[in-house]
Amino acid sequence: MKLYHDYKKQFNIVLLFILVFLPVFFILAQTAEEVQTKISQKNSDIDKLEQEIKSYQTQLDELSKQKSSLNGSIKALDLTRKKLVADIGVTGKKIEKTNLKITGLSKDINTKQSSISNNIEAIGEGIKQANEFENESIVESILSSEDFSLIWNDIDNTIRLREKIRGQITELKQVKGELEDTRKETIDAKNELLSLKSKLADQKKIVEQNAKEKNKLLTQTKNSEANYQKILKERLAQKDAIEKELRDYESQLTYILDPSKLPNAGVFSWPLDYIYITQLFGKTIDAKRLYASGSHGGVDFRAPVGTPVKAMASGVVAGVGDTDTQCPGVSFGKFIFIQYDNGLSSAYGHLSLVRANVGDRVTRSTVVAYSGNTGYSTGPHLHVSIYAPNAAQVKSLPSKSCPGRILTQPIAPINAYLDPMYFLPPYKKP
């Protein structure tokens, strides 16, 4: 009878382990509800800032339709700065939201890890105790017992214990799977946070640059409308002269276009997340009005200052520069030149910030720069030129129209300029 009672005691110990240690422990300094409330508040803050950004952009769009004036240019620069500051605010709130998510995920991981440890301990003890009982002689237990019904009841209990242990092992596997998923979510959240931090740093640079441009304009014009119009007239004349000079040079370059070496249509992805085309390739009405040649060598996209600009395919950055440092307001401004693996190359112009370097390997959708309003630009936008294989390169040439200056920019034979729309996805005007 002693054997039976000893087993009874052991069995009760096993049950105690299962009942006490198997539940999930939730020891959190901050509840999931509290974290979610804070995340919801951040979402509300983000929505407010995005409405503010939208308002600034509407005002900028209206200004771009007006005749260029000193007051209008100063106001545009100031609105752009305010919009970028709001952009920074949005990014900051997104960073804070991501941090909250990471905090919640980390707590969840710790909780699940605690649950796993406790499950392992309890299951291990249960298996140990069950095995010890099975090692005892069932015949000895029966002979020592005065009440056979108790024996059969406890055998049933043992079977149920075994099922309970199997169930807990299944639960353990599930918890482990959840833990792995949570870890992946945490890694993704951290990567998102790093991306947001990088974007925030870029936006700060653009804001600082924008403020410098405003102060520079005020210094140059001495806050005089007459001085501003004089400078504007001189730059437009210089722009036309440089454009003619460049076209004369490009017309002298020989290039035999082999259509068979061109990649198929649609090989590129869009360089921007939101697509609105403001000027097409070739001899358009606007091109005849804006350019001395009467032809537009690329496609223009509406893009507020600071909009991320992406590579359209895999390739290598073959050139970066800023024509404004050599001859202000006459050409690409800040640009990046990419040679793609498919043989084509492209130039992005009028950028506010270039974040890639010569020699960098880029892939499709890699952010390589941010849109702007540099060089000869009638308003914030992104200019994209596409060139035939082995036809274009970044060259530095002495400029007759900017005496004593070396102008560095992408150059190609006239017949090597290709219509970007052929290689981009189908476009539907919003």
Q: Which domain holds residue 277?
A: 224-423
- Which tops the pLDDT comparison, 276 or 194? 276
Same domain, 249 and 205: no
Split into its structural domains, the chain has a count of 2
Same domain, 166 and 231: no
Highest mean pLDDT among 33-37, 59-63, 422-426: 422-426
Same domain, 245 and 201: no
Question: Among 168, 188, 213, which residue terminates a domain?
Answer: 213
Same domain, 107 and 239: no
Same domain, 127 and 273: no
**pLDDT of res. 283:** 79
pLDDT digits (tens, 9 = 90+) for 95-122: 888 888 888 888 777 777 777 777 777 7
Domain assignment of residue 313, yes or no = yes
DSSP secondary structure letters along 390-410? TT-EEEEEEESSSTTEEEEEE
Asked if the model's pLDDT at residue 129 lies above 90, the reply is: no
Contact status, residue 373 vs residue 350, Cβ threshold 8 Å: yes
pLDDT digits (tens, 9 = 90+) for 383-415: 999 999 999 999 999 988 888 899 999 999 999
Label residue 345 left, alpha or beta by phi (over 0 means left) and psi (-120 to 50 means alpha).
beta
Q: Work out the number of other CB atoms within 10 angstroms of the CB of residue 15.
A: 16
**pLDDT of res. 192:** 87
Asked if the model's pLDDT at residue 61 lies above 70, the reply is: yes
Question: CATH code at 336?
Answer: 2.70.70.10
Query: Tokens 């793609």 sit at which residue?
Result: 340
Domain assignment of residue 218, yes or no = no
**pLDDT of res. 21:** 44
**pLDDT of res. 351:** 97
- State both tokens at 260: 């068979």
Question: Among 213, 237, 256, which residue terminates a domain?
Answer: 213
Average pLDDT over residues 75-84: 92
Same domain, 336 and 247: yes
| Pairwise CA distance, residues 175 & 187, whole Å | 18
CA distances from 99 to 77, 183, 193 (A): 33, 15, 8
> Mean pLDDT lowest for which of 88-92, 149-153, 335-339, 387-391?
149-153
> What is the pLDDT confidence band of residue 355, given thresholds at 50, 70 and 90?
very high
pLDDT digits (tens, 9 = 90+) for 307-317: 999 999 999 99
| Pairwise CA distance, residues 303 & 370, whole Å | 9
**pLDDT of res. 18:** 46
**pLDDT of res. 121:** 72
- State both tokens at 121: 């301990």
Closest CA to 301 of 324, 328, 281, 329: 281
Closest CA to 377 of 348, 403, 350: 350
DSSP secondary structure letters along 228-276? HHHHHHHHHHHHHHHHHHHHHHHHHS-----GGGSPPTT-SPPSSSS--
Question: Among 213, 245, 261, which residue terminates a domain?
Answer: 213
Same domain, 94 and 158: yes
- State both tokens at 376: 């000869």
The radius of gyration computed from the CA coordinates of the chain, to the nearest angstrom, equals 35
Q: What dihedral do alpha carbons 218, 221, 222, 223 form, nearest 10°?
A: -70
Asked if the model's pLDDT at residue 143 lies above 60, the reply is: no
Domain assignment of residue 429, yes or no = no
pLDDT digits (tens, 9 = 90+) for 191-241: 888 888 889 899 999 999 999 999 999 999 998 999 999 998 988 898 889
b/e burial code for range 62-82 (CB count within 10 A of at least 16 → b): ebbeeeeebeebbbbbebbbb
- State both tokens at 210: 């924008």
Same domain, 203 and 128: yes
Domain assignment of residue 219, yes or no = no
Q: Over the chain, what is the mean pLDDT?
A: 83
pLDDT digits (tens, 9 = 90+) for 312-350: 999 999 999 999 999 998 899 999 999 999 999 999 999
> What is the pLDDT confidence band of residue 27, given thresholds at 50, 70 and 90?
very low
Domain assignment of residue 323, yes or no = yes
Closest CA to 162 of 129, 119, 137: 129
